[in-house]
């Protein structure tokens, strides 16, 4: 019975998004089903939290029926939407790929087996242990419990406001301004189960992990990677220890943010290469979705625009415009009122000054500790290669560099440096970017490999095997 | 050329392993005098019963021992090792006893590199080892060795550090180093990265323009597999620990068998006392951890918890029917006889005592 309830909840989460994306993504798009599966899961989870917020606004309590009814309405609307909304034939025509060799089949089989083993260990771990992690208990899951018991979104206010209001109709915690997508996911799971379950409320994190892999794989295929390369890279990203820890010790919002930001960056890269409108839409939807998850989602969303600018106006002009915008940004920060809040933060609160102590922690986190295995080294090599050998990746490089610069600014120039020095938030924020960095690295590799193959063919040499 | 490079590397490795620095001291201690604690057994090592504070203190004959910062102290325990280990020594001619302690995360063969310990040099008059365990618990010590480690020792320590398993603790949500200790390397990621870089360099030097991206990708992938193999191994072991603890336990009982058992149980009993859904509960605790967990386990009741702030607000914000849940340490003053709690603001508020045990206190505001 529990399994059926959970499967129904998963179906109600994914189906509306799938139907709408089916309307938008051209039929001939390579790896289409994987693409639909990944983005339906990611966007479907966010859409479900919006449905729950809508129900609260109109005064209807959460239940499988109420949420299910809205989801079915969305499905019906999607089915009735005109098919002409699709952005025409796929610009990326399916490649006439060489049949896979026996070694490639073995390699793919190995990667799938490794992924299955990882899924099993993470799934059993997550499904067996109760809510464990600090922030989950302090904040996210505690909120989810309240939402579930009330059957509605409850307003959260600061401690002082709560006292002034007498706690009537309001709740309080240490971060009342945090977005509520994450606790709503747990509340939805509990709603589907009909009761609060200390372990099963964390099942969305397993879906997040799977969605990350599906998005990565499908976009990698669209970027020109062969099946073997794409599955190998997908395994590498999904096996990052720190990502796995956040899945197993579920309850933090960072894994969902990582999935959405990956969805945005990967779609933006493929849009920059192929100009398919649906990819730009996916990028913007996922980027905007980041804002539903954590306050820093607003800044990650903004990092997409340097890449979009470079695509629309060209590299040279775009870089000049970015340089001017960067200067204007510095000027704006210099002149803006210290108490003006943007995305939950103000200048006064951030206490801007240079904090060099964070460098050691940043170095250790990326290049010494095993949080990301060796992804940081690979990403550094990819960043170095772009201006010299893979200029087609400049737009997406602008996105990741913007994100990295924001990350460094956060820990080198604001009070959040304490989160670096004590290793409390440093890796959690980095996690939000790492799958996207992994995709960026794969994109650069694919460009380099395909360029070399192209040169070899042009020179009339016997072409080496394609990358993968 | 590749064969020549390999041959040279092997010779260099052989040389380094064979001609390591000579040892100055290599002392093993298997006989001790017990200064704190009580000897229980001496059959297979020394089993000592700790005192009520969980302390064991052993003295070793250390006359003429030359301390060297390059030394290492290695302990070998049987059964449950101590949580904390202390070295106490008095250098010759020094008037004071020096001490250094370190936390041991369940390692039965912990060691400490003494180059990180200030004052570990010269001859020593007096040497003791202290262990902190649970009150009245036993600890079994097989031996203690003070030595100058060889390269082979360091290599085996590195491998052991990379392979060791320790169950997850709360701070693991923040960082994963791949080693037993947070700040003790070498760490696997840069070592494997260096290995990959070396192999890539050799491959590119040998193949030059005929180099294939497939091989480059495979070399990186194989390096990744090595690191991930270690990680997957840890995940399986962690799963075993998790399943031992929670498999077959129903959802409501899981917190009661977790690390939060005491607070979860207390919160469950407190919630039974509070049989109103709209009750307000003020959590008072000096401990971040206790306060946070109490607030969580009291959900979905409407809780107030001011992390690192003033434990309770002024009296004007409290009303009849509110509850005050005190967990762990607190600065609140409670006069049980008069039924009064003194708030941080200095005001007194009348309360009923609803529940009390060694974890905390539940009070209901009277007025």
Interchain contact, A125 vs B313, CB within 8 Å: no
Distance CA A174, CA A157 (A): 9
Q: Round the average pLDDT of chain B to a whole number and report it.
A: 88
Region A97-124: mean pLDDT is 93
Rg of chain B (C-alpha set): 28
Q: Which residues of chain A are within 8 Å of residue B232 when distances are taken between CB atoms?
A: 114, 117-118, 121, 239
Find the angle CA(A327)-CA(A331)-CA(A336) to the nearest 5 degrees.
145
> B72 lies in which domain range?
23-149
Q: Which helix (H) or strand (E) holds B302?
A: strand B302-305
Choose, out of A125, A428, A443, the residue to mutate when testing the contact with B (most B CBs < 10 Å). Answer: A125
Of A129, A173, A373, the CB nearest to B246: A129
Distance CA B72, CA B149 (A): 7
Q: Which residue has the tokens 């590299």?
A: A315
Residue B20, phi then psi, degrees to nearest 5: -80, 160
Q: Where are the alpha helices (DSSP H) in A314-374?
A: 315-335, 347-350, 358-363
Of B189, B246, B296, the CB nearest to A370: B189
Choose, out of B158, B165, B169, B174, the residue to mutate when testing the contact with A (most A CBs < 10 Å). Answer: B174
Chain A closest CA to B109's CA: distance in Å? 23
Distance CA A117, CA A120 (A): 5
A203 pLDDT higher than 60: yes
Question: Which pLDDT does position A395 carry in this prediction?
Answer: 96
B119 pLDDT higher than 80: yes
Give yes or no for a contact between A261 and A435, defined as CB atoms under 8 angstroms apart: yes
Distance CA A69, CA A74 (A): 9
Describe chain B by its helix, strand, coil percentages, rounded to 5. Answer: 35, 30, 35
Interchain contact, A467 vs B296, CB within 8 Å: no
Which one, of B323, B321, B304, lies nearest residue B313 by Cα? B304
Q: Which residues of chain B are within 8 Å of residue A445 when distances are taken between CB atoms?
A: 213, 217
Region A33-46: mean pLDDT is 98
Predicted confidence band of residue B21 (pLDDT cuts 50, 70, 90): very low
- DSSP assignment of B161-192: HHH------GGGGT---SSSSTT-S--HHHHH
Give yes or no for a contact between A141 and A131, defined as CB atoms under 8 angstroms apart: yes
Q: Which residues of chain B are within 8 Å of residue A190 when distances are taken between CB atoms?
A: none
Least confident of A29-43, A339-353, B234-248, B262-276: A339-353
Which one, of A467, A393, A392, lies nearest residue A437 by Cα? A393
Interchain contact, A365 vs B231, CB within 8 Å: no
Interchain contact, A128 vs B238, CB within 8 Å: no
| Calculated CA dihedral for residues A379, A380, A386, A390, nearest 10 degrees | -50
Q: Do B123 and B240 lie in a common domain? A: no
Question: Which pLDDT does position B156 carry in this prediction?
Answer: 86
Region B125-131: mean pLDDT is 87
Interchain contact, A196 vs B251, CB within 8 Å: yes
- How does DSSP classify residue A25? S
CB pairs below 8 Å between A and B: how many? 185
Find the angle CA(B128)-CA(B132)-CA(B136) to the nearest 5 degrees.
115
Predicted confidence band of residue B171 (pLDDT cuts 50, 70, 90): confident
Distance CA B103, CA B140 (A): 17
Give yes or no for a contact between B24 and B68, defined as CB atoms under 8 angstroms apart: yes
Choose, out of B212, B228, B265, B322, the residue to mutate when testing the contact with A (most A CBs < 10 Å). Answer: B228
Interchain contact, A138 vs B296, CB within 8 Å: yes
Interchain contact, B170 vs A133, CB within 8 Å: yes
Interchain contact, B188 vs A370, CB within 8 Å: yes
A263 pLDDT higher than 60: yes
* Residue B199 included in any domain: yes
Give yes or no for a contact between A249 and A289, defined as CB atoms under 8 angstroms apart: no
| Calculated CA dihedral for residues A370, A372, A378, A383, nearest 10 degrees | -120
Chain A closest CA to B130's CA: distance in Å? 29
Chain B closest CA to A24's CA: distance in Å? 34
Residue B55, phi then psi, degrees to nearest 5: -100, 140
Tell me the three state secondary structure of residue A452: helix
Distance CA B7, CA B2 (A): 9
Which one, of B317, B281, B47, lies nearest residue A142 by Cα? B281
Question: Which pLDDT does position B68 carry in this prediction?
Answer: 87
B87 pLDDT higher than 70: yes
Region A308-328: mean pLDDT is 92
Question: Which pLDDT does position A86 carry in this prediction?
Answer: 56
Share of chain B above pLDDT 70, in %: 91
Give yes or no for a contact between A447 and A460, defined as CB atoms under 8 angstroms apart: no
Give yes or no for a contact between A210 and B341, defined as CB atoms under 8 angstroms apart: no
Give yes or no for a contact between B298 and B362, defined as CB atoms under 8 angstroms apart: no
A465 pLDDT higher than 50: no
Domain ranges within chain A, ordered by starting residue: 297-456
| pLDDT per residue as tens digits for the range A406-441 | 999 999 999 888 888 888 999 999 999 999 999 999
Region B229-249: mean pLDDT is 95
Domain boundary at B212, B247, B282, which?
B247
Distance CA B342, CA B335 (A): 8
Q: Which helix (H) or strand (E) holds B129?
A: strand B122-132
Of B174, B227, B319, the CB nearest to A424: B174
Interchain contact, A374 vs B193, CB within 8 Å: yes
Interchain contact, A142 vs B296, CB within 8 Å: yes
User: Which tokens sit at B199?
Assistant: 């192999």
Q: Do B284 and B341 lie in a common domain? A: yes
Domain boundary at B112, B128, B149, which?
B149
- How does DSSP classify residue B115? G
Q: What is the largest CA-CA distance in chain A?
A: 80
3-state SS of B232-255? HHHHHHHHHHHHHHHCCCCHHHHH
B192 pLDDT higher than 60: yes
Q: Which residues of chain A are within 8 Å of residue B231 when distances are taken between CB atoms?
A: 239, 241, 244, 370, 373
Give yes or no for a contact between B51 and B114, defined as CB atoms under 8 angstroms apart: no
Q: Do B278 and B211 lie in a common domain? A: no
Q: State how beta strands B360-365 and B348-356 pair.
A: antiparallel
Share of chain B above pLDDT 90, in %: 58
Interchain contact, B221 vs A370, CB within 8 Å: no
| pLDDT per residue as tens digits for the range A152-166 | 999 999 999 999 999
| pLDDT per residue as tens digits for the range B256-302 | 999 999 999 999 999 999 978 899 999 999 999 999 999 999 999 99
Q: Does B207 touch chain A (CB under 8 A)?
A: no
Q: Domain total for chain B? A: 3
Predicted confidence band of residue A231 (pLDDT cuts 50, 70, 90): very high
* Residue B12 included in any domain: no
Q: Do B79 and B188 lie in a common domain? A: no
Interchain contact, A369 vs B172, CB within 8 Å: no
Interchain contact, A163 vs B296, CB within 8 Å: no
User: Which tokens sit at A49?
Assistant: 């939290």
Distance CA B305, CA B302 (A): 10
Q: Which residues of chain B are within 8 Å of residue A138 when distances are taken between CB atoms?
A: 292, 295-296, 307
B14: which residues sit within 8 A by CB, 6+ positions away?
Answer: none
B6: which residues sit within 8 A by CB, 6+ positions away?
Answer: none
Interchain contact, B254 vs A129, CB within 8 Å: yes
Question: Which pLDDT does position B67 carry in this prediction?
Answer: 86
Q: Does B188 touch chain A (CB under 8 A)?
A: yes
Interchain contact, B221 vs A252, CB within 8 Å: no
Chain A residues 59-118 within an 8 A CB cutoff of chain B: 114, 117-118
A464 pLDDT higher than 80: no
Chain B residues 124-143 within an 8 A CB cutoff of chain A: none
Distance CA A422, CA A410 (A): 14
Region B293-315: mean pLDDT is 94
Chain B closest CA to A194's CA: distance in Å? 13
- Cβ neighbours, 10 Å, residue B70: 14
Q: Do B206 and B127 lie in a common domain? A: no
Residue B114, phi then psi, degrees to nearest 5: -85, 0
**Partners of residue B58 on adjacent β-strands:** B34, B129
Which one, of B158, B214, B163, B232, lies nearest residue B191 by Cα? B158
Predicted confidence band of residue A339 (pLDDT cuts 50, 70, 90): confident
* Residue B175 included in any domain: yes
Region A186-193: mean pLDDT is 97
User: Which tokens sit at A18?
Assistant: 């799938």
- Cβ neighbours, 10 Å, residue A53: 15
Predicted confidence band of residue A334 (pLDDT cuts 50, 70, 90): confident
Question: Which pLDDT does position B225 carry in this prediction?
Answer: 97
- Cβ neighbours, 10 Å, residue B90: 17
A206 pLDDT higher than 60: yes
Q: Which residues of chain B are within 8 Å of residue A424 when distances are taken between CB atoms?
A: 174
Question: Which pLDDT does position B23 carry in this prediction?
Answer: 43
Q: State how beta strands B55-60 and B33-36 pair.
A: antiparallel
Distance CA A129, CA A323 (A): 50
Q: State how beta strands B323-327 and B280-284 pair.
A: parallel
A322: which residues sit within 8 A by CB, 6+ positions away?
Answer: A306, A309, A310, A398
Chain B residues 274-303 within an 8 A CB cutoff of chain A: 280, 292-293, 295-296, 299-300, 302-303
* Residue B156 included in any domain: yes
Give yes or no for a contact between A128 and B240, defined as CB atoms under 8 angstroms apart: no
Q: What number of H helices and E strands is found in chain B?
A: 6, 19
Q: Which residues of B216-241 are buried (b: 16+ CB within 10 A; e: fewer)?
A: bbebbbebbbbbbebbbebbeebbee
Of B221, B304, B307, the CB nearest to A232: B221
Q: What is the largest CA-CA distance in chain B?
A: 90
Predicted confidence band of residue A341 (pLDDT cuts 50, 70, 90): confident
Which one, of B266, B268, B237, lies nearest residue B251 by Cα? B268
Q: Round the average pLDDT of chain A to a whole number and report it.
A: 91
Domain boundary at B133, B149, B165, which?
B149
Nearest chain A residue to B289 by CA distance is A134
pTM: 0.88
Chain A residues 235-274 within an 8 A CB cutoff of chain B: 236, 239, 241-242, 244-246, 248-249, 252
Give yes or no for a contact between A347 and A333, defined as CB atoms under 8 angstroms apart: yes
Region A397-412: mean pLDDT is 96
Give yes or no for a contact between A182 and A135, defined as CB atoms under 8 angstroms apart: no
Predicted confidence band of residue A346 (pLDDT cuts 50, 70, 90): confident
Q: Where are the alpha helices (DSSP H) in B98-182?
A: 151-163
Describe chain A by its helix, strand, coil percentages, rounded to 5. Answer: 70, 0, 25
Chain B closest CA to A293's CA: distance in Å? 19
Which has more confidence, B322 or A96?
B322
Give yes or no for a contact between A225 and A468, defined as CB atoms under 8 angstroms apart: yes
Find the angle CA(B300)-CA(B303)-CA(B304) to the nearest 5 degrees.
160
User: Which tokens sit at A95?
Assistant: 């490649």
Q: Do B141 and B27 lie in a common domain? A: yes
Q: Do B89 and B184 lie in a common domain? A: no
Region B346-363: mean pLDDT is 94
Region B43-54: mean pLDDT is 89
| pLDDT per residue as tens digits for the range A441-463 | 999 999 999 887 766 555 554 43
Q: Do B100 and B154 lie in a common domain? A: no
* Residue B8 included in any domain: no
Q: Do B30 and B135 lie in a common domain? A: yes
Report ipTM for this prediction: 0.91
Find the angle CA(A315)-CA(A317)-CA(A322) to the nearest 5 degrees.
90
User: Which tokens sit at B152?
Assistant: 């082979």
């Amino acid at each position: 019975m529990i399994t059926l309830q959970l499967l129904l909840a998963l179906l109600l989460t994914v189906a509306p998004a799938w139907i709408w994306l089916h309307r938008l993504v051209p039929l001939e798009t390579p790896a289409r089903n994987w693409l639909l599966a990944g983005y339906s899961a990611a966007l479907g989870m966010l859409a479900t939290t919006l449905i729950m917020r809508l129900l609260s606004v109109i005064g209807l309590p959460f239940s499988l029926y109420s949420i299910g009814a809205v989801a079915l309405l969305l499905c019906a609307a999607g089915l009735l939407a005109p098919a002409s909304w699709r952005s025409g034939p796929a610009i990326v025509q399916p490649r006439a790929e060489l049949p896979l060799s026996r070694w490639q089949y073995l390699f793919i089989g190995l990667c799938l087996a490794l992924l299955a083993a990882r899924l099993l260990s993470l799934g059993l771990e997550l499904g067996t242990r109760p809510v464990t992690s600090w922030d989950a208990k302090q904040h996210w899951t505690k909120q989810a419990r309240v939402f579930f018991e009330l059957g509605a979104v409850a307003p959260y206010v600061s401690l002082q406001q709560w006292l002034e209001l007498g706690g009537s109709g309001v709740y309080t915690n240490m971060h009342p301004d945090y977005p509520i997508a994450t606790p709503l996911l747990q509340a939805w799971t509990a709603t589907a189960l009909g009761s609060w379950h200390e372990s099963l409320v964390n099942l969305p994190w397993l879906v997040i992990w799977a969605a990350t892999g599906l998005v990565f794989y499908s976009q990698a295929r669209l970027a020109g990677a062969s099946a073997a390369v794409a599955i190998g890279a997908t395994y590498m990203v999904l096996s990052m220890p720190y990502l796995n820890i956040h899945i197993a010790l579920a309850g933090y919002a960072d894994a969902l943010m990582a999935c959405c930001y990956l969805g945005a960056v990967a779609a933006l890269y493929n849009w920059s290469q192929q100009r398919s409108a649906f990819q730009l839409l996916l990028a913007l939807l996922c980027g905007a979705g980041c804002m539903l998850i954590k306050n820093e989602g607003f800044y990650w969303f903004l990092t997409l625009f340097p890449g979009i600018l470079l695509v629309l106006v060209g590299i040279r002009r775009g870089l000049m415009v970015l340089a001017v915008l960067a200067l204007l940004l510095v000027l704006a920060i210099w002149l803006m009122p210290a108490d003006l809040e943007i995305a939950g933060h103000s200048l006064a609160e951030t206490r801007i000054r240079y904090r060099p102590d964070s460098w050691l922690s940043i170095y250790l986190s990326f290049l010494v500790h095993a949080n990301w295995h060796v992804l940081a080294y690979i990403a550094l090599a990819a960043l170095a290669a772009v201006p010299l050998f893979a200029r087609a990746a400049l737009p997406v490089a602008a996105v990741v560099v913007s994100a990295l610069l924001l990350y460094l600014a956060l820990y080198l120039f604001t009070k959040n440096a304490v989160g670096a020095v004590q290793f409390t938030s440093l890796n959690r924020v980095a996690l939000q970017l790492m799958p996207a960095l992994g995709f960026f690295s794969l994109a650069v590799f694919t460009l380099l490999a395909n360029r070399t193959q192209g040169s070899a063919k042009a020179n009339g040499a016997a072409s080496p095997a394609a990358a993968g | 050329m590749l064969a020549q490079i390999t041959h040279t590397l092997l010779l260099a490795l052989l040389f380094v392993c064979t001609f390591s620095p000579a040892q100055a001291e290599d002392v093993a201690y298997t006989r001790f005098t017990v200064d704190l604690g009580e000897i229980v057994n001496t059959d297979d090592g020394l089993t000592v019963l700790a005192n009520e504070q969980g302390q064991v203190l052993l003295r070793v004959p250390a006359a003429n021992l030359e301390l060297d910062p390059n030394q290492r102290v290695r302990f070998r325990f049987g059964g449950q090792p101590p949580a904390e280990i202390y070295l106490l020594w008095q250098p010759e001619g020094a008037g004071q006893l020096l001490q250094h302690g370190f936390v041991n995360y369940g390692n039965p063969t912990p060691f400490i590199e003494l180059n990180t310990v200030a004052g570990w040099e010269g001859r020593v008059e007096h040497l003791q080892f202290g262990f902190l365990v649970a009150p009245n618990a036993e600890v079994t010590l097989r031996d203690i060795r003070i030595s100058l480690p060889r390269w082979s020792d360091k290599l085996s320590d590195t491998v052991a550090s990379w392979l060791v398993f320790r169950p997850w603790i709360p701070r693991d949500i923040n960082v994963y180093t791949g080693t037993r200790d947070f700040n003790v390397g070498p760490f696997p990621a840069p070592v494997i990265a260096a290995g990959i870089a070396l192999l890539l360099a050799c491959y590119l030097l040998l193949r030059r323009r005929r180099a294939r991206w497939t091989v480059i990708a495979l070399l990186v992938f194989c390096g990744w597999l090595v690191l991930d193999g270690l990680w997957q191994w840890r995940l399986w072991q962690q799963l075993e620990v998790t399943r031992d603890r929670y498999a077959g336990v129903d959802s409501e009982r899981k917190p009661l068998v977790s690390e939060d058992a005491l607070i979860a149980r207390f919160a469950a009993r407190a919630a039974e006392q509070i049989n109103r859904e709209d009750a307000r509960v003020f959590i008072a605790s000096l401990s971040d951890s206790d306060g946070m967990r109490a607030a969580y386990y009291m959900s979905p009741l409407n809780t107030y918890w001011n992390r690192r702030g003033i434990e309770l607000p002024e009296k004007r914000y409290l009303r009849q029917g509110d509850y005050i849940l005190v967990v762990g340490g607190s600065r609140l003053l409670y006069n049980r006889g008069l039924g009064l709690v003194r708030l941080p603001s200095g005001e007194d508020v009348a309360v009923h005592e609803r529940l009390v045990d060694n974890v905390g206190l539940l009070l209901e505001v009277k007025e």
